[in-house]
Amino acid sequence: MRTLTFANALNEALRQEMRRNPKIYIAGEDVGLYGGIYGVTVDLFKEFGEERVKDTPISESAIIGMAVGSSAAGLIPVVEIMFVDFIGVCMDQLLNQAAKMKYMFGGKAKLPMVLRTTEGAGHGAAAQHSQCLEAWFMHVPGLKVVLPSTPYDAKGLLTTAMRDGNPVVFLEHKYLYGTVEGEVPEEQYTIPFGVADVKRQGKDVTVVATMRMVHKALAAAETLAKDGISVEVIDPRTLVPLDEDSIIASVKKTHRLVVVTEEVANAGSSAEIAARVADKAFDYLDAGIKRVTAPFTPVPFSTVLEEEFIPSEAKIITAIHQVLGKAVPA
Amino acid sequence: MTEKIENEKLLTMYKSMVTIRLFETRVSELFAAGKLPGFIHLYIGEEAVATGVCSQLKSQDYITSTHRGHGHLIAKGGNLNQMMAELYGKRTGYCKGKGGSMHIADVDLGILGANGIVGGGPPIATGAAFGIKYQGGDGVVACFFGDAASNQGTFHEGLNLASVWKLPVIFVCENNLYGISVSQARHQNISDVADRAAAYDIPGVVVDGNDVMAVYEAAGEAIKRARAGKGPSLIECKTYRWRGHFEGDPTPYRPKSEVDAWMKKDPIPRFETALKEMGVITDAGIAAMKKEIGEKVEAAVKFSEESPWPALSEILDDVYTVGPEAV
């Protein structure tokens, strides 16, 4: 099968679904002529024109509000907030408008819309362009939260998002765009929300990881396999809905859990996953749950500090040794 | 008056204003009697604005409303029973008891909701207008908001985007002189919000918001322009809210003399006088209409009192669209 980068897989999902459904349009900052700051919407302007690929003013509240209003008026907007960090200037339109309209209106509104945005550190972009804020969104009833780790998942999940019929927050780790390449079918396909993917089978410890951390967890699993430690790596792929059944089934098999996210630990998605397992599978655990996350700091700029900030393969290996009750190698 | 308004239309407008007044007066009593939970923001005194604007709209046109939304909803055709039941929090309300006063909506009537967030509406109205234009329709969106909302970034973002894309939306500022307790003179350095239209190179007009025919005429001009693809307009309607910001507000921030002066400019008797002069209605006709509307309001109260509460299991319904309803 042919391979695509993460960014190209997203581009293909948009292109194919826009060809299929004329109600879909794209809007955001620099998504048109420029092709998106990370190239995800490249050439879509050329194919679909200015009517369907809209360069907007730098007005994030207007961008999300436009999605809400046009969705209520019958369209399916796919809007982009360039960096998730910018959600701070427009959160009302997502938090109080998009997420709540259906419920507040007694079910009579339908708001199909996708909010694409980028997350993550690794580019020296510092504190206002590097955060992982998935916990903000998963705390709000009415939003769905999607965060793929591979090109295959990215294409399938984005296609699902455009057909879901609800406000979907689609989080793309910017480090993955060009660095991760994988097999992607040429035809359209969907991946249901709320279905985790076991990225590697194992029997000694369950590692639940998201986005870029899936790749670090897989690298750690590969390293540990040489020492005879069998690590199962699960990518939930969507946080809302969360496939807790798959996670709990894995924990019942391995009896140990490590959760790895690039967010800070405080009230993070890692806390939610750990709490649900503690609630529903406590008796199956042979060790306390460990979390590997970023430290509780803004994302630092300096390359050495940023490297220290991002959870590393070494830290994941240490956590796995700890839940296995093994001495941590020096 | 640039064009003659049909008698039937004039009577419909009058009926709308009286319905808003009688509905809200009754709501005020019910709230004081402890029948209605939550926050209630009344529109009494401002009826000419909603009526003048909505009388220019077609059924497929949209509005976005505010926390002070009952008037807009009634003027756009909202059902009194469902509105009142929603204020009670009953199962038969517009939102099945999930929304209350600040979130009443009827998407089928083009009402994209009252809104509890000051300034929440302009970006949504702009989006709905984009939706209309994208689909090739000739509809328009009327976006209601207050003087205080014109200080929110969302107001400026909405006007800017609507103007640069020439979207069919009219922005209707109901300048009632206060943002909660802060007078306009203390919250912005201009006296005419309409001046802000200049920043977006769109028409900005000031009208007497207590003169329903002046509002009707200004809205008509703006809507004609919007439907012709010439983009948005900003209409500022000078008016006044008789009640506090919310029911129960002791209003220590404004003198009684100011309230009294504005109550003398009551838009309803003013319109009555004009209608009588035009021979459109008589005193007997007015009395009969008020009686009929009063009975409808009482029927809405009875309907609400007798309606069931939502089932507790319904708390989980309608957070998400599921199944075949999804796209």
Query: Is A248:A281 a contact under the CB 8 Å cutoff?
Result: yes
Task: Using alpha carbons only, give the angle B288, B74, B191 rounded to the nearest 5 degrees.
Answer: 110
Query: Is A162:A24 a contact under the CB 8 Å cutoff?
Result: yes
Residue A190 belongs to some domain of the structure: no
Find the helix or strand (DSSP H, E) in which A94 lies: none
Instruction: Compute how many other C-beta atoms are within 10 angstroms of the C-beta atom of residue A31.
Output: 27
Q: A154 and A249 in one domain?
A: no
Interface test with A, best of B152, B165, B321 (most A CBs within 10 A): B321
Residue numbers in A near B164 (CB within 8 A): 57
Q: A210 and A154 in one domain?
A: no
Closest residue in chain B to residue A99, using alpha carbons only: B319
Q: How far is B96 from chain A (nearest CA, A)?
A: 5
- For residues A204 and A229, what is the distance between their CA atoms, to the nearest angstrom? 7
Cβ of residue A64 closer than 8 Å to a chain B Cβ = yes
**Is A13 strand, coil or helix?**
helix
Inspect the interface and report whether the beta carbons of B154 and A62 lie closer than 8 Å: yes
- For residues A66 and B122, what is the distance between their CA atoms, to the nearest angstrom? 9
Q: How far is B319 from chain A (nearest CA, A)?
A: 5
Task: Inform me whether the pLDDT recorded for A262 exceeds 60.
Answer: yes
Q: Is A139 assigned a catalytic role?
A: no
Q: A222 and A75 in one domain?
A: no
Q: What's the DSSP call for residue B83?
A: H
Residue A191 belongs to some domain of the structure: no
Q: What is the CATH number of the domain that holds A235?
A: 3.40.50.920
- Phi/psi for B166 (5° steps) reads 50, 55
Give chain A's domain count. Answer: 2
Closest residue in chain A to residue B130, using alpha carbons only: A70
Inspect the interface and report whether the beta carbons of B105 and A109 lie closer than 8 Å: yes
Residue A189 belongs to some domain of the structure: no
Nearest alpha carbon to residue A124 among A304, A318, A313? A304
Inspect the interface and report whether the beta carbons of A102 and B120 lie closer than 8 Å: no
The A231-235 sheet, strands edge to edge? A197-200, A231-235, A205-209, A257-264, A290-294
Report the pLDDT value the prediction gives residue A328, as an integer from 0 to 100.
76
- For residues B51 and B58, what is the distance between their CA atoms, to the nearest angstrom? 13
Q: What is the CATH number of the domain that holds A46?
A: 3.40.50.970
Residue B257's Cβ-count burial label (10 Å; 0-12, 13-18, 19+) is: exposed
Say which residue the tokens 């204020």 belong to: B87
Of A104, A105, A142, the CB nearest to B320: A142
Interface test with A, best of B161, B166, B169 (most A CBs within 10 A): B161
Q: A154 and A9 in one domain?
A: yes
Q: A148 and A287 in one domain?
A: no
Q: How many helices (H) and strands (E) does chain B have?
A: 11, 7
pLDDT tens-place string over residues B289-304: 999 999 999 999 999 9
Q: A85 and A211 in one domain?
A: no
Taking CA atoms, B42 is separated from A38, B26, B67, B99, in Å, by 49, 11, 9, 17
Inspect the interface and report whether the beta carbons of B161 and A142 lie closer than 8 Å: no
Least confident of A11-15, A24-28, A243-247, B322-326: B322-326
Inspect the interface and report whether the beta carbons of A65 and B62 lie closer than 8 Å: no
The CATH number assigned to the domain with range B7-325 reads 3.40.50.970
Mapping DSSP onto H, E and C, the string for B114-166 reads CCCCCCCHHHHHHHHHHHHHHCCCCCCEEEEEECHHHHCHHHHHHHHHHHHCC
What range does the domain containing A271 cover?
197-323
Tokens of B65: 């409303």
pLDDT band at residue A329 using 50, 70 and 90 as cut-offs: confident
Inspect the interface and report whether the beta carbons of A96 and B120 lie closer than 8 Å: yes
Query: Is A77:A130 a contact under the CB 8 Å cutoff?
Result: no
Residue numbers in A near B127 (CB within 8 A): 65-73, 77
Report the pLDDT value the prediction gives residue B325, as an integer from 0 to 100.
58
Query: Which residues of chain B are modeled with pLDDT < 70?
Result: 1-3, 324-327
pLDDT tens-place string over residues A150-194: 999 999 999 999 999 999 999 999 999 999 999 999 999 999 999
Q: A298 and A268 in one domain?
A: yes
Query: Is B53:B75 a contact under the CB 8 Å cutoff?
Result: yes
Report the pLDDT value the prediction gives residue A327, as an integer from 0 to 100.
79
Tokens of A19: 């060809």
pLDDT tens-place string over residues A127-161: 999 999 999 999 999 999 999 999 999 999 999 99
> Which residues of chain B form beta strands (DSSP E)?
62-64, 141-146, 169-175, 178-179, 182-183, 204-208, 233-238
Average pLDDT of the segment spanning A268-279? 98
